[in-house]
Amino acid sequence: MEGTELGWWGVLIAVIGGAIRVSTPYLFVSLGETLTEKSGRVNLGLEGVLVMGAMSGYATAVLTGQPWLGVLVAGCAGALLSLVHALVCSLPRVNDIAVGIALFIFGTGLAFFLGKPFINPSAPRLPDLDLGWWSDSPHIQSALQISPLFLFGFALALFLAWALKNTRWGLVLRTVGDSSEAAQALGYNITLVRIAGTVAGGFLAGVGGSYLSLYFPGTWNEGLSSGQGLMAVALVIFARWDPVRCFYASLLFGGATALGPALQSAGVTANYYLYGAAPYFLTLAVLIYSASPRKALEGAPGEVSISR
């Protein structure tokens, strides 16, 4: 078949490009959730935070014409929404997972409500960096058109991995998350640390949302997030609370998402629903393979209810 060879190259390029394009929201949300969970709380509501971030970022960009301002506003909106989670969970006998689900519903509801007027207008997109200048192929050039946010996320993953181990606040965060008794004995303000962890996590998730609305796919409507926020929270467990592994997991998930469309456009058109579910099959398989029945999850914060 003429053109098949180019076709398979096309698939590969599309998967690599797709991994980079699709992964960024997963990366930001999972980094945010890592921070939150390291402090000893689970915020299942980051899906709502992500959607709220996407909406507010888009709305800001539409109104001001400044996409970067949109990213900032998205982060702040995410932080604000997560602050609600943080404060409610600071009350005694309140289940953080349930509050997360409430935030999920409340956040998406509020974003849909406020976002109605912004579905039709087009917002300016975030610029991208051309890292494919060395290649003659327009396909490679386009696959390597990378958002600065992706690179920022990558740098952030490295930084967080280092900071959690080597800085004072990293140690405080981990202590509070691992054992509230130890933290209390050391005189840390547990509530405050957890609020900080949750709010910081919300900020990152909001930024992840603005990537969706302002860069890729770069639009705002109510179907924008197909569960990226929820899935990213799951990826944290998959990545064992390690920021660098979050990066790998996001790339893997993004690449698997891009596989279906890439194969279909190359003419492999049967079973597309199953290819579409590839990321989920893959994640489950890796989980089953890598989990261990005997020892507790390595890296799991001791206070987090989800890691039992």
Partner 1 sequence: MTRSTLSRRGFLKRGANVVAASVAASAVPGMVAAMGNVTVGFIYVGPRQDFGWNQSHWDAAQKIAAMDGITVVEQENVPETAEVEKVIQSMIELDGAKVIFGTSFGYWDSLKAMAEKYPDVLFTHIGAIWKEGDPTNVIGYRGYTEEAHYLCGIAAGRMSDTRKIGFIGSKPLYFIYNNANGFMLGARSVAPETTMNVVITGDWNNPVKEAETTNALIDQGCDVIIANVDSPKVAIETAEARGVYTCGYHSDLSSLAPNGFLTGAEWNWASGAEFVRAFVEDDPYPNLKRGGFREDMVALSPFGEAVPQEVRDEVMAAKQGFIDNSLQLYAGPIADNQGNVIVPEGEVRNNDDVPFKLGIDWFVEGTIG
Partner 2 sequence: MNSVEAVAINAAAFVITLALFGIYVATLGHNPLDVYYVLWLGSFARQISIESTLTNAAPLMLTALCTAIPARAGLLVIGGEGALVVGGVATVLAGMLVAGAPFLVGVTFMSLAGALAGGLWIAFAGALRQYRGVNETISTLLLNYIAIAVMYHLITGPMRDWERVLKTSSWSIPDALRVGALPVIDVHWGLAAGIVVCLILYVVMRRTTFGFGVDVLGGNPRAAQMAGLPINRMVLICCFMGGAAAGLAGAFEVTAVHGFASESLVVGFGYAGILVAFLSRQNPAAIIFLAIILGGVAASGGLLQRRFDLPDATTQVLQGLLFMIVLASNAAYGRLNVFQPAAWRTA
Give dist(CA 123, CA 221) in Å, integer.
Answer: 12
Of the listed pieces 161-169, 191-199, 258-266, 282-290, which binds partner 1 according to CB under 8 A?
Answer: 258-266
Retrieve residue 97's tokens. Answer: 């997972």
* Nearest alpha-carbon partner for 229 in 61, 14, 83, 82: 82
Which of 3/92 has CB closer to partner 2? 92
Which tokens is 223 given?
């179907």
| Residue from 65, 98, 109, 116 binding partner 1 (CB under 8 A) | 116
Angle between helical axes of 4-38 and 168-178 (0-180°, round to 10): 80
Coil, strand or helix at 296 = coil
Q: Alpha carbon 42 to chain centroid distance?
A: 15
C-alpha span between 200 and 186 (Å, rounded)? 23
Nearest distance from residue 272's CB to partner 1, in Å? 6
305: contact with partner 2 by CB under 8 A: yes
What is the total count of residues that contact partner 1 (CB under 8 A)?
44
> Is residue 110 near partner 2 by the rule CB under 8 A?
yes
Strand partners, 146: 129
Which candidate, 214, 201, 202, 196, places its Cα nearest to that of 71?
214
Please identify, using beta-carbon distances, which residue of 138 and 293 lies nearer to partner 2.
Answer: 293
Residues near partner 2 (CB under 8 A): 48, 84, 88, 91-95, 97-99, 101-113, 116, 227, 230-231, 234, 237-238, 271, 273-274, 276-277, 280-281, 283-284, 287-288, 291-295, 297, 305-308
Residues near partner 1 (CB under 8 A): 3, 6-7, 10-11, 13-14, 17-18, 21-22, 112, 116, 119-120, 122, 125, 139, 142-143, 212, 216-219, 221-224, 226, 228, 257-258, 260-262, 264-267, 269, 272-273, 276
